[in-house]
């Protein structure tokens, strides 16, 4: 488990989670697509009449129990920050933007796409920072990692990428069955989140040059 106390990484992780919730609130108001997990949870919470934050916490808690039983090494401070805070950040900012920003900003084509692309970019950067902090991952992300490890033990040649793809597709399917409509944001997230994680990881882990000997 990654509950080591590294103040710098904890602060960075907390800030990244805040950024994810902040920019995710814009993505949801633009209604042009989000990541598969948020799409699923938003669709289900809307269908059952529950706030996004409450439903996200409930489903994360259920998945967390499975992770604790199967393999705890993926858990850490980042797990708690993610599963508890992001949903409530979205609820809060959704309420705030509804009072501070005219609704036309999220519906008029020019402003809608500008807000969407900007929010998507910074959401992916925030997510990349969060993952590269190595302070644990959300239960939603931990489960496919655990499944991949268990499958690889029995079937070493099985393509690992297919498990994550199937996991995300299942989330999209559940969201669709709950009444959501998967659109461009999910595709863009799938295409660019991986490269963003790699790029941010290189920046964070870049070593300072060693001064030459005198």
Q: Residue 147: exposed, middle, or buried by beta-carbon count in 10 A (0-12, 13-18, 19+)?
A: middle
Over 60: is that where the pLDDT of 214 sits? no
Q: Is 93 domain-assigned? A: yes
Q: Is residue 161 part of a domain?
A: yes
What's the average model confidence in pLDDT over 155-165?
83
Number of domains present in the structure of the chain: 1
Residue 40 structural domain: 8-202
List C-alpha distances in Å: 163 to 21, 160, 171, 187. 26, 6, 13, 17
Q: What is the mean pLDDT of the chain?
A: 87
In a domain? residue 18: yes
Total-model pTM: 0.84
Token duo for residue 203 = 């920046």
In a domain, 208, yes or no: no
The pLDDT assigned to 194 comes to: 65
Instruction: Please report whether residue 15 resides in a domain.
Output: yes
Residue 207 placed within a domain: no
Residue 50 in any domain: the answer is: yes
Q: Given a cut of 90, is residue 174 above it in pLDDT?
A: yes
C-alpha 115/C-alpha 118 separation (Å) is: 5
Residue with tokens 């997990």: 37
In this structure, is residue 99 part of a structural domain? Answer: yes
């Amino acid at each position: 488990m990654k509950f080591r106390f590294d103040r710098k990484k904890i602060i960075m992780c907390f800030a990244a989670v805040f950024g994810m919730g902040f920019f995710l609130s814009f993505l949801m108001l633009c209604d042009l697509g989000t990541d598969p997990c948020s799409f699923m949870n938003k669709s289900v919470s809307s269908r059952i009449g529950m706030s996004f934050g409450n439903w996200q916490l409930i489903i994360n808690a259920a998945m967390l129990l499975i992770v604790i039983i199967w393999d705890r090494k993926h858990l850490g401070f980042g797990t708690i920050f993610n599963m508890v805070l992001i949903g409530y950040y979205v609820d809060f900012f959704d309420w705030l933007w509804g009072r501070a920003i005219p609704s036309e900003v999220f519906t008029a084509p020019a402003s809608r796409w500008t807000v969407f692309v900007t929010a998507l970019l910074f959401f992916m950067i925030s997510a990349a920072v969060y993952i590269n902090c190595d302070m644990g991952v959300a239960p939603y992300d931990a489960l496919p990692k655990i499944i991949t490890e268990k499958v690889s033990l029995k079937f070493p040649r099985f393509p690992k990428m297919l498990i994550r793809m199937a996991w995300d597709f299942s989330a999209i399917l559940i969201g669709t069955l709950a009444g959501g409509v998967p659109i461009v944001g999910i595709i863009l997230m799938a295409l660019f989140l991986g490269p963003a994680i790699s790029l941010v990881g290189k920046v964070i882990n870049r070593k300072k040059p060693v001064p030459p000997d005198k």
